[in-house]
Structure 1
Amino acid sequence: MGDENKLTQGLVQVYTGDGKGKTTAALGLGLRAAGHGLEVEVIQYLKGSSYTGELYSTERLPNFTIKQFGKGCSYAALIKQGLMDCTGCGDCFVRNSKDREFHENFIDLAYKYTKEILEEGKKDIVILDEINNAVRYELLSTEGILELIELKPERTELILTGRGVPEEILKKADLVTEMKAIKHPYQQGIKSRRGIEY
């Protein structure tokens, strides 16, 4: 890709808050950028190999890559085939810091991979999905994220998602959006829906 397709200036964005839509917003930005020929890399922290629509739709886009670093879903194949729905068991997404050493290994791998991607400087958009939760669960330090922000090439857009962003990171960001939970279908007993939540 030629320089004419590159960003003239890359910023740091944060999507946080207790409401739904952080990953969705980041993926939407990535899809828009891919449509302009930009190279997009999504690195998912604390999310394992599970069935989500974005994994399969982005396989059709040569300039949009998703890498997952987390525990896998036992039912992914059945969910993909439409033989069952996501039960919301949470096995594929860390909600606390139990089995600390197990999760730390995934975080270490994700962090090393992120550093490599930023140091290479070949990606225009780098989305670190749920990285803020890694800090929240004390599996990654605030200083670690600040180091990644410093590694960001000038023309690379860096997007961080997840709840509970430390103040130091908010200060470094150029754009911060807080998703606020006002009402959610879960409160009505409606489970995750194929094509909407996964």
Structure 2
Amino acid sequence: MEQPKREKPYQKPTGERRGLVLVYTGEGKGKTTAALGLVLRAVGRGYRARIFQFMKHERAAFGEHRALERLGVEIEGLGDGFSWKSKDLDHSAALAYKGWQKAREILLSGTYFLVVWDEISYPIRYGWIPLEEVLQALEQKPKGVHLVLTGRGMPEEIIERADTASEVRKVKHAFDAGVPAQRGIEH
């Protein structure tokens, strides 16, 4: 009988600790949820976190907004909802860019341990936020700040610069069976 191959013994990394760039992308459900999990972990350790949601309304009242407010985490919707519902795409683009300026400023301020740019891939892909500006912000990110970027179709240039990138793959989704979004699960 053939012996199973042994994995290499664990070796503790010897590099320096620094703020990471993490990406969650792909067609599956769970990208925002993964980012929020990191926020909970950071806040649980006493660190400050800030979340910007590029496709959510400014005054959204999703379950995660309500819970995070109770924890003292600032979460801000920067858009006017999902683009396919927009009545004025020029207005949507202007909101996204204005929100981008604020999200970039907060990242570069170094005030927060963890910053999340949720669903930022959409306004980048739509041309509302220049990819070059996002890449520049990644280069200028303060050393001790962690940054999470989420969204389907994340540009390859961002993935290449990330320290950690995960692709969430859809195997099956309730929407495909006609089940509508549900409070406490999708929002």
TM-score (ref. length: structure 1) = 0.81
CA deviations 1:64-86 (Å, max 9, x no partner) are: 21011111xxxxxxxxxxxxxxx
Gaps of 5+ in 1: 1-7, 72-91
Q: Which amino acid aligns with 2:114?
A: I
RMSD of aligned alpha carbons: 1.7
Distance 1:98 1:9 in 2: 42
Q: How does 1:1-198 map to 2 (within 5 A)?
A: 8-48=17-57, 49-62=59-72, 64-71=73-80, 92-95=81-84, 99-198=88-187
Q: Given the superposition, is the C-alpha separation of residues 95 and 162 from structure 1 closer, same or farther in structure 2, using an over 3 Å criterion?
A: farther
Distance 1:131 1:123 in 2: 19
Q: Is the 8 A contact 2:93 2:123 kept in 1?
A: no
Instruction: Decide which structure has the larger Cα Rg and report it.
Output: 2
* Residue 155 of structure 1, CA deviation: 0.6
Distance 1:147 1:140 in 2: 12
Task: Tell me the residue number matched to 1:84.
Answer: none
Distance 2:125 2:94 in 1: 16
Q: Which amino acid aligns with 1:59?
A: E
Q: Is the 8 A contact 1:136 1:163 kept in 2?
A: no
| SS in structure 2 of the partner of residue 105 of structure 1 | helix
Q: Is the 8 A contact 1:39 1:124 kept in 2?
A: yes
Count of residue pairs the alignment pairs up: 171
CA deviations 1:77-130 (Å, max 9, x no partner) are: xxxxxxxxxxxxxxx322488733111111122111112212221100000001
Distance 2:78 2:127 in 1: 16
